[in-house]
A and B are shown apart, each in its own frame.
Chain A
């Protein structure tokens, strides 16, 4: 150290130890010493002899351009940046040394400007980047500095958060699977009653137009009783697959009872379309099912209702309408479908089936409605199907 050093040797050693990122500024504003950690960051040669304000920029308080202003900040909290490495926010505190403190005795001539100054610096929130970028280790910080603890905590929290994220993902997957399971009929993979009720309630609430079909398998009980549950299960699974194959992807089929199914056809508001779909479903279900050794034959009865017929109905009332129509279909024989006539419109308006010739294979060539009494409209082809089933069921 040159003559007039503001610090004793012992003080300098202590500062290096306790404040490894300090800067000693001489009366002229030049850096005349700095702590070992700061030296590592800026390179010792660049520090010594440079003007403090050329090396550092004060970000708070701002507009500190000269030593007099800097000296006035004695004791204040400072925010600064290294001009060469502006990325790392530093915080610090400045202390003006009383003149003549050091082994150099009284300052020669400079005493009027006040003595030297010490600025102690620390990384604030930038400590993580700084430690990484400069490869700092525990020994680069004062023993009392909590930087190491902060890095430890940060790393521990990162590990815990990562674990927590993984846990959340697992829980979310499990929740999804449970929900899916709660909405699915395990035997057929179709939606179950709960799922169907929810979908129906949503459709009603949204005021959507849709058709609802209540489908009951005919002769299923005989298959089950005669050939056992395994055969029954086989038939139910086949029935589910076949029904799905003749409706649109966004139509919903649910198994709502042992051999009962509910079908929701969004957007469908014409009796003719419902009739075509019902015939298609029945025809698909009447195809024999085989387990390789035996052949099983069933059919189905369908009762349908259109949401547009009596707007404002509750889901329960809609289901009731479909149920009523199913009852009528069953009463008329097997393998038939009926549309719930509702109250708003006369049955004649709704009982017209799809035009003959455009009907699906197997549908009756001539489809002429026979309007029955009461609210249920008769659809065509019932007699033929019923006959066919009666033959098969022998």
Chain B
């Protein structure tokens, strides 16, 4: 695991719930600044404890919280880099969906230590896709809810109208179902291949 993930959680929590709550949670958990240093390795247990602690403090289900995190990562101007790097996946939302299987490889190219679970995409019928995410990591963290939030935000980004449903999980995988109702429903956000270079 990488401090980058923890930092993403930190930005999300600070922006959504304020600095005092964040301080309270990290102090209670005894997690110091070192855990939030991007590019630095970090014990995966820390990330799991952070998510648990935050969910408990907010009295929210972990899955809901992680879904919000996924949406935040794509939609917030502060993490524009994430949105842009994802947009390289395809010229429209359907192509983006097809690029999901490459996502772990793409993430590794961007940052060698970033280890995302394997993703498989299955066509179910016209405009219906099943996204399968490999099981949770050793610390019990699940990527499915985060991806669900990201897909929601990416659909907005492309201007696509979609129905997304978390279909549950078992020991080996999580399943998200995507109904692509209208690929060009709205204008979406602009994306230039060689556009901004600005980091968040």
Contacts and interface: CB of A to CB of B under 8 A. Distances in A.
Contacts of A135: 192
A155 B85 contact: yes
Contacts of A129: 194
B194 A160 contact: no
Interface string B180-200: 000000000000111101010
B81 interface: yes
Interface of A: 128-129, 131-132, 135-139, 148-149, 151-153, 155-160, 162-164, 167, 170
A137 B91 contact: yes
Closest 9 CB pairs of A and B: A156-B110, A132-B194, A152-B88, A162-B199, A131-B194, A138-B91, A159-B81, A131-B193, A163-B38
Contacts of B197: 155, 158
Contacts of A164: 39
30 contacts: A129-B194, A131-B193, A131-B194, A132-B192, A132-B194, A135-B192, A136-B194, A137-B192, A138-B88, A138-B193, A148-B193, A149-B88, A151-B193, A152-B88, A155-B81, A155-B84, A155-B85, A155-B88, A155-B197, A156-B111, A159-B110, A160-B39, A160-B110, A162-B199, A163-B4, A163-B39, A163-B199, A164-B39, A167-B37, A167-B38
A132 B197 CA distance: 11
What range describes how many residues of B lie at the interface? 20 to 34
Nearest to B197: A158
Contact of A152 (B4, B85, B91): B85
Contacts of A159: 81, 85, 110, 199
Contacts of B195: 132
B109 A156 contact: yes
Given A156-B110, A158-B197, 15 more contacts: A132-B192, A132-B193, A137-B91, A137-B192, A137-B193, A148-B88, A148-B193, A151-B194, A152-B85, A153-B109, A153-B110, A155-B197, A160-B39, A163-B4, A167-B38
